[in-house]
C-alpha cells in the first residue's frame, strides 16, 4: 500500500533536509505518494504574500500526515509564524519530542531514551497578555484588587495562564495512548502544583483521573524543578514526561541538549485529524543551499512518521541504519565530528547516501 503524505520542503536548509529524507524513506521499501505543498517563503511568492495557503492546510487535513522542513519566521513586521499558524489551524495540541542517545553521539549522557509530550495550546503561551501601562492592564489590575488580589507593584505587565480540564484531559489521554502504542511502561506528569494550585493543581488532579483509567501503565508525577535535577542525574528512570506548554518548551530543549543537540532532535505535532513530523531545529538560513547541515533530526522525524503510518519494520530498519552511521562516525556532518572544522565531515546528501547503503544491506 502506498501512503499519501504531504511534503512541505520549507525554508533555509529545509529543502535539502527534506529531499535527503524523502530519498531515505523511499529506500526503506515503503511506498509513498508525495503531495508537495508550499509554506513559508516559497508560498509567499506563489500565493500573493500568504506564507500559509489554505490549499496547504487542506492537503494536510485530507492526507492526515505531513513531513515538514523548518520554516523561517522573519523578525519584526507583524509577520505571523507559519509554525504557530499551522499548529493553531490544525489544532495540533500535542507536541512529541523523543529524546534518545545513540552510541557515537557527542553527549555528556548515555542511556537517555525518553519522550517529552508538551501541551501546545494553553498555559502562559496562550497569548493572553496585557501591556504595562495600558488602560486594559490598569482595568485588570483594579479588578484583581477588587477581588482581594495583591500585586507587589502596580506598574506590571500581565500574562494570563489558562489550564483547562478539557485541554489537560485530552493531552493525558493522548499521552497514555501514545505510551501504550510505543510500548512504554510509565507516564510522568510534570507540574508546579504546590505553588499554582488552580492551574498546575488542576493539571495534576486531571492527570491522576486519566491515570486511573489507564492503570496498565505506571504513573507518577514530579515538580518541575525537581524534574530538571532528576533528568541530569538519572534520566534512565523516565519514559514519557507530560508537561504544560511553558515547562515543555524548556525541558524539550534541555533534553535535546542531552542527546547531542539540535541536529539530533526529531519532533512531531499531533491533532485529532493531523500529524506533522518535523525536526526541533529551525531553518538555519546561513547554511541554506550549502549541503552542510545535519539531516539526522529530519530523518529521525521521518522514522517517527513511519511508526505513525504503522510501518514499524521499516522504522526499525531505518533507526538501525541511522544508528550504524552514527556509531561509525565516518559519514556524519561537521557538528557530529570531534571538532567543527574536521576535514572528514561529509555533507547532508552524503549522510543520506550512507544510510541508504546501510538499508540496502538490511532490506
CB of 254 to ligand NAD, least distance (A): 16
Given 245, 283, 301, 317, the residue binding ligand NAD (CB under 6 A) = 283
Query: Binding string to ligand NAD for residues 55 to 74, with x set by CB under 6 A, is what?
Result: ---------------xxxx-
Residues 295-334 touching ligand NAD, rule: CB under 6 A, are 297
Regarding 264 and contact with ligand NAD (CB under 6 A), the answer is no
Measured from the CB atom, the residue of 18 and 72 that comes closer to ligand NAD is 72
Candidate list 68, 100, 192, 292, residue with the active-site label: 192
Active site residue 136: no
Active site residue 225: yes
* Stretch binding ligand NAD (CB under 6 A), from 87-95, 212-220, 274-282, 299-307: 274-282
Residues 331-360 touching ligand NAD, rule: CB under 6 A, are 335
Measured from the CB atom, the residue of 283 and 317 that comes closer to ligand NAD is 283
Given 90, 284, 299, 314, the residue binding ligand NAD (CB under 6 A) = 284
Given 281, 307, 308, 358, the residue binding ligand NAD (CB under 6 A) = 281
CB of 281 to ligand NAD, least distance (A): 3
Active site residue 197: no
Regarding 294 and contact with ligand NAD (CB under 6 A), the answer is yes
Regarding 19 and contact with ligand NAD (CB under 6 A), the answer is no
Nearest to 71 by CA among 58, 56, 52: 52
Candidate list 136, 225, 272, 312, residue with the active-site label: 225
Point out which residues bind ligand NAD (CB under 6 A). 70-73, 83, 262-263, 278, 281-284, 286, 293-294, 297, 335
**Active site (catalytic) residues:** 125, 192, 225, 249
Amino acid at each position: 500500500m502506498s501512503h499519501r503524505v504531504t511534503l512541505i520542503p520549507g525554508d533555509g536548509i529545509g529543502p535539502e533536509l527534506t529531499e535527503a529524507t524523502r530519498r531515505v524513506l523511499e529506500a526503506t521499501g515503503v511506498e509513498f505518494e508525495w503531495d508537495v505543498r508550499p509554506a513559508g517563503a516559497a508560498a509567499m511568492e506563489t500565493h500573493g504574500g500568504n506564507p500559509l495557503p489554505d490549499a496547504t492546510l487542506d492537503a494536510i487535513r485530507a492526507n492526515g500526515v505531513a513531513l515538514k522542513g523548518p520554516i523561517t519566521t522573519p523578525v519584526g513586521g507583524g509577520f505571523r509564524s507559519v509554525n504557530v499558524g499551522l499548529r493553531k489551524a490544525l489544532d495540533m495540541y500535542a507536541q512529541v519530542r523523543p529524546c534518545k542517545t545513540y552510541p557515537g553521539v557527542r553527549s555528556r549522557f548515555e542511556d537517555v531514551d525518553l519522550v517529552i509530550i508538551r501541551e501546545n495550546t494553553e498555559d502562559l503561551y496562550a497569548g493572553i497578555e496585557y501591556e504595562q501601562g495600558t488602560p486594559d492592564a490598569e482595568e485588570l489590575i483594579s479588578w484583581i484588587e477588587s477581588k482581594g488580589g495583591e500585586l507587589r507593584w502596580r506598574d506590571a505587565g500581565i500574562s494570563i495562564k489558562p489550564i483547562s480540564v478539557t485541554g489537560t484531559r485530552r493531552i493525558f489521554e493522548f499521552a497514555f495512548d501514545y505510551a501504550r502504542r510505543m510500548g512504554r511502561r510509565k507516564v510522568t506528569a510534570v507540574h508546579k502544583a504546590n505553588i499554582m494550585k488552580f492551574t498546575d493543581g488542576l493539571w495534576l488532579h486531571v492527570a491522576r483521573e486519566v491515570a486511573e483509567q489507564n492503570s496498565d501503565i505506571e504513573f507518577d508525577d514530579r515538580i518541575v524543578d525537581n524534574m530538571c535535577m532528576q533528568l541530569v542525574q538519572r534520566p534512565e528512570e523516565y519514559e514519557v514526561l507530560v508537561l504544560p506548554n511553558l515547562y515543555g518548551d524548556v525541558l524539550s530543549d534541555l533534553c535535546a541538549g542531552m542527546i547531542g543537540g539540535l541536529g539530533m532532535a526529531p519532533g512531531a505535532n499531533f491533532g485529532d485529524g493531523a500529524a506533522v513530523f518535523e525536526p526541533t531545529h529551525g531553518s538555519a538560513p546561513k547554511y541554506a543551499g550549502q549541503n552542510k547541515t545535519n539531516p539526522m533530526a529530519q530523518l529521525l522525524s521521518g522514522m517517527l512518521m513511519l511508526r505513525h503510518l504503522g510501518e514499524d519494520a521499516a522504522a526499525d530498519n531505518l533507526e538501525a541504519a541511522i544508528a550504524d552511521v552514527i556509531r561509525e562516525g565516518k559519514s556524519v556532518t561537521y557538528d557530529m565530528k570531534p571538532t567543527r572544522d574536521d576535514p572528514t565531515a561529509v555533507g547532508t546528501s552524503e549522510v543520506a547516501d550512507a544510510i541508504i547503503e546501510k538499508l540496502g544491506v538490511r532490506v
